[in-house]
Amino acid sequence: MRDYKNDFGVYDTHPDLVYLDTTATALKPKSVVEAVARFSTEEYANIHRGAYDLSEASEIRYEQSKKDTAHLINAESSAEIVYTYNSTYALNYLALALRRAGRLARWDRILLSVAEHHANVVPWHILAEDLGIELVFVDIDEEYDIDYDDFARKYDARVKVVALTAVSNVTGKIFSLEKIRPMIGADTLFVVDASQAVPNYAFDVQSIDCDFAFFTAHKLYAETGLGILYGRERLLRELPPAFGGGGAINWVHEERYMPAGLPYRHEPGTPHIIGAVSLSAAISYLDSIGGYDTIAAAKKPLVERALERLESFPYAVELIGPRAVEGRAGVLSHVVPGVHLADLAEFLAERDICVRVGHHCAEPLMRFRGVAGALRASIGIYSTLSDIDRFYDALEQGIKTLG
């Protein structure tokens, strides 16, 4: 089996690193770092407004990045791809634009699941505060999927937006979102948080039949600072821009302005051109290793090993997430009784093992499960069986020492 660690420069400088925090952010492949350096030194300039070669070269790269992203998620065209700064910013932008469009009014409801990341909760809370709309949370079932009976009970004519994650960043469960569209009205907006989906499997906006989706490039082996908002072309066209400025207009007079065409009306100011180039390079990297099939094949034995280790683990450590290999991402969140999670994370860090502890920006889920926090280990393409074993060996020692 190929050792993907060779593709990531951090292992040259930190050969003993056990990086199990990919759900927070993915390490960067050498090919992405090199593509960014090459672009920055050979082709970089501002886009849209330059007639000179460098500006044109940059513009071609930026447009190509949009096409690559559209292709990655099976959008109909790159006009449906808006670049923002991260997932959080993408949804805040959408929520504001929906508000400006008058799509939501007092007493309307937004349906979410209890497993949402705060990025898919707080922007809606802000709308609720301002507009008097209501947020309604759907439960998850024993398999950690959406509880579709609870969904059917809570969905009614007042629900104007259904906003669900495709994959929980705590449980790793891949929700069966293809079930949602047939359960909701054609005019209910279906918004998907694809932040943990796009790094893990071929997330397809058309087969899910969603209206909007958003994700963040840094979890997909690209740079930080680039978020992606997908929207159906018709809807993006109808949405008034939430922010305005240069680059997003056709013309500006003293009295009024004319927004630009799609997708630029939603991208005021200079975009993250370098981030866009890094996303193209990250998508090329994925293609070069065999795409999502390779990601799934690499993940399987690691999740199997983790579940095996947990079967015979000498302490009462519980998983918040399915004890199954299929239908999940490589995210393993552990409830560890009797030990301070921060001390445990420190203990692991002293042994070069990077994990994350806390509520993982998913407090509604923690409350639903009745726990304060969890220790999350999450894998990337560079993770190995030895990483998993070192993690569980150290976890055992840590509990013994600190418990």
Ligand X SMILES: Cc1ncc(COP(=O)(O)O)c(C=O)c1O
Catalytic residue IDs: 361
Nearest distance from residue 347's CB to ligand X, in Å?
24
Instruction: Return the closest-CA partner of residue 197 out of 159, 160, 226, 228.
Output: 228
* Ramachandran area for residue 370 (φ above 0: left; ψ -120 to 50: alpha; else beta): left
* Ramachandran area for residue 340 (φ above 0: left; ψ -120 to 50: alpha; else beta): beta
Nearest distance from residue 362's CB to ligand X, in Å?
8
Nearest distance from residue 224's CB to ligand X, in Å?
8
Judged by the rule CB under 6 A, the positions of this chain that interact with ligand X are 24, 86-88, 117, 119-120, 165, 169, 193, 195-196, 216
Helices (H), 325-384: 341-349, 363-369
Nearest distance from residue 168's CB to ligand X, in Å?
7
Give 253: exposed, middle or buried? Use CB within 10 Å, 0-12, 13-18, 19+: exposed
By beta-carbon proximity to ligand X, the closer residue of 215 and 347 is: 215
| Residues near 104 by beta carbon (within 8 Å), at least 6 away in sequence | 98, 110, 127, 131, 133, 160, 161
Neighbouring C-beta atoms of residue 34, cutoff 10 Å: 12
Q: At what angle do helices 291-311 and 273-288 cross, to 10 degrees?
A: 80
Contact 164, 91 (CB under 8 A): no
